[in-house]
């Protein structure tokens, strides 16, 4: 449980909002999101496509800065961190890692090289994610999609991050490898106290690996509960619909009502969520509050 966890709070979002300007108008990617992640726990983040999951992860290592609100990593606001130190502490792993041209060895050693050190036994990091050490001297661009995904993860582990930000990192893997990676990450969490924020579209995975699960819909944190309760006893009608597969990505945001609208609604702490019952097709307007306060 986050509250009272011996490790304290690893990540705290405080009334965070983020709007992107696009050629077709503005898009409110996050609206007044508040919540915290206890150190040494796994948070699984679920929600329809475009609901703000990747944006929320990107705030933690300051790939993206919030327009409003604060994000704290181990108590310190991310903009007060030295950026390289922040990115060593909180490593972001994407679904499709940006590999550098060259061998697998060069890719896996990249972080160490940037820190001015040689990486001893790079094969250990490959083996940790289920890749054979023999791959070290292969050209990274020759790897399969699943192998590349695992290489991206191995590369992040070299940093020995205290927080892992995982964005759909097992989507290209076969089921047995998915389980291997899940077990490996659960182990990191248990043995080394690593905190994991894990975005996934695979609800079974979210249930298997999560201690806590958050549902984002149209940029709002709708429900934040211990994972067992989230799936067994969802409280918010939007969560119920989402778990039934009925809540899909909202329509085109710009000009359709959600993009320009401010962060009306309750917001509140994790667990209280922002959105209420959804009367229409747009999860952004799920709560009466959002409609009543269109600032």
Ligand X SMILES: Nc1ncnc2c1ncn2[C@@H]1O[C@H](COP(=O)(O)OP(=O)(O)OP(=O)(O)O)[C@@H](O)[C@H]1O
Which C-beta is closer to ligand X: that of 47 or that of 286? 47
Tell me how far apart the alpha carbons of residues 167 and 172 are, in angstroms, rounded to a whole number.
12
Q: Is 54 in the site for Mg ion (CB under 5 A)?
A: yes
The minimum distance between CB 8 and ligand X, in angstroms, equals 27
Which C-beta is closer to ligand X: that of 93 or that of 131? 93
The answer to whether the CB of 293 falls within 8 A of the CB of 262 is yes
The answer to whether the CB of 241 falls within 8 A of the CB of 294 is no
Structure-token pair, residue 16: 């965070």
Structure-token pair, residue 285: 């307007």
Residue 52 near which of Mg ion, ligand X, none (CB within 5-8 Å, type-dependent): ligand X
Number of residues forming the site for Mg ion (CB under 5 A): 1
Binding track over 163-202 against Mg ion, x by CB under 5 A = ----------------------------------------
Tell me how far apart the alpha carbons of residues 138 and 9 are, in angstroms, rounded to a whole number.
40
Which C-beta is closer to ligand X: that of 27 or that of 196? 27
**Count of CB atoms situated within 10 Å of the CB of 85:** 10
* Piece of 8-16, 30-38, 49-57, 102-110 that binds Mg ion (CB under 5 A): 49-57
Which C-beta is closer to ligand X: that of 232 or that of 256? 256
- Of 252, 87, 83, the closest CA to residue 163 belongs to 87
Structure-token pair, residue 106: 């060069």
The minimum distance between CB 206 and ligand X, in angstroms, equals 13
Tell me how far apart the alpha carbons of residues 66 and 154 are, in angstroms, rounded to a whole number.
29
Burial of 92 (0-12, 13-18, 19+ CB in 10 A): buried
Which C-beta is closer to ligand X: that of 109 or that of 200? 200
Residue 22 near which of Mg ion, ligand X, none (CB within 5-8 Å, type-dependent): ligand X
The minimum distance between CB 219 and ligand X, in angstroms, equals 7
Q: Which residues contact 10 (CB under 8 A, 6 or more apart)?
A: 37, 38, 39, 40, 41, 73, 74, 162, 163, 195
Q: Which residues contact 168 (CB under 8 A, 6 or more apart)?
A: 94, 95, 199, 200, 201
Site for Mg ion in 89-128 (CB under 5 A): none
Structure-token pair, residue 157: 């582990």
Residue 20 near which of ligand X, Mg ion, none (CB within 5-8 Å, type-dependent): ligand X
Residue 49 near which of Mg ion, ligand X, none (CB within 5-8 Å, type-dependent): ligand X
Which C-beta is closer to Mg ion: that of 54 or that of 109? 54
Helix (H) or strand (E) holding 30: strand 25-38
The minimum distance between CB 134 and Mg ion, in angstroms, equals 33
Residue 51 near which of Mg ion, ligand X, none (CB within 5-8 Å, type-dependent): ligand X
The minimum distance between CB 54 and Mg ion, in angstroms, equals 3
Q: Which residues bind ligand X (CB under 6 A)?
A: 20, 22, 27, 29, 47, 49-55, 253
Residue 155 near which of Mg ion, ligand X, none (CB within 5-8 Å, type-dependent): none
Which residues sit at the interface with Mg ion, rule CB under 5 A? 54
């Amino acid at each position: 449980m986050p509250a009272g966890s011996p490790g304290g709070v690893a990540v705290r979002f405080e009334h965070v909002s983020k709007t992107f300007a696009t050629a077709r108008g503005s898009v409110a990617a996050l609206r007044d999101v508040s919540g915290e992640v206890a150190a040494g726990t796994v948070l699984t983040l679920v929600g329809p496509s475009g609901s703000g999951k990747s944006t929320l992860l990107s705030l933690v290592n300051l790939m993206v800065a919030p327009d409003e609100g604060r994000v704290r990593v181990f108590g310190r606001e991310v903009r007060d961190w030295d950026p390289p130190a922040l990115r060593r502490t909180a490593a972001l792993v994407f679904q499709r890692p940006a590999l550098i041209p060259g061998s697998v060895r060069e890719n896996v050693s990249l972080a160490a090289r940037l820190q001015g050190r040689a990486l001893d036994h790079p094969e250990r990091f490959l083996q940790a994610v289920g890749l054979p050490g023999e791959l070290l001297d292969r050209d990274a661009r020759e790897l399969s999609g699943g192998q590349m995904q695992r290489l991206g993860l191995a590369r992040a582990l070299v940093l020995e991050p205290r927080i892992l930000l995982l964005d759909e990192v097992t989507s290209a893997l076969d089921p047995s490898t998915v389980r291997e990676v899940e077990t490996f990450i659960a182990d990191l969490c248990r043995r080394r106290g690593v905190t994991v924020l894990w975005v996934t579209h695979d609800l079974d995975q979210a249930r298997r690996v999560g201690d806590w699960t958050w549902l984002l819909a149209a940029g709002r944190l709708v429900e934040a509960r211990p994972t067992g309760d989230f799936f067994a006893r969802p409280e918010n009608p939007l969560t119920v619909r989402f778990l039934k597969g009925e809540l899909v990505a909202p329509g085109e945001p710009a000009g359709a009502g959600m993009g320009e609208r401010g962060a009306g609604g309750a917001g509140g702490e994790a667990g209280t969520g922002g959105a209420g019952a959804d009367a229409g097709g747009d999860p952004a307007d799920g709560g009466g509050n959002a409609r009543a306060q269109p600032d």
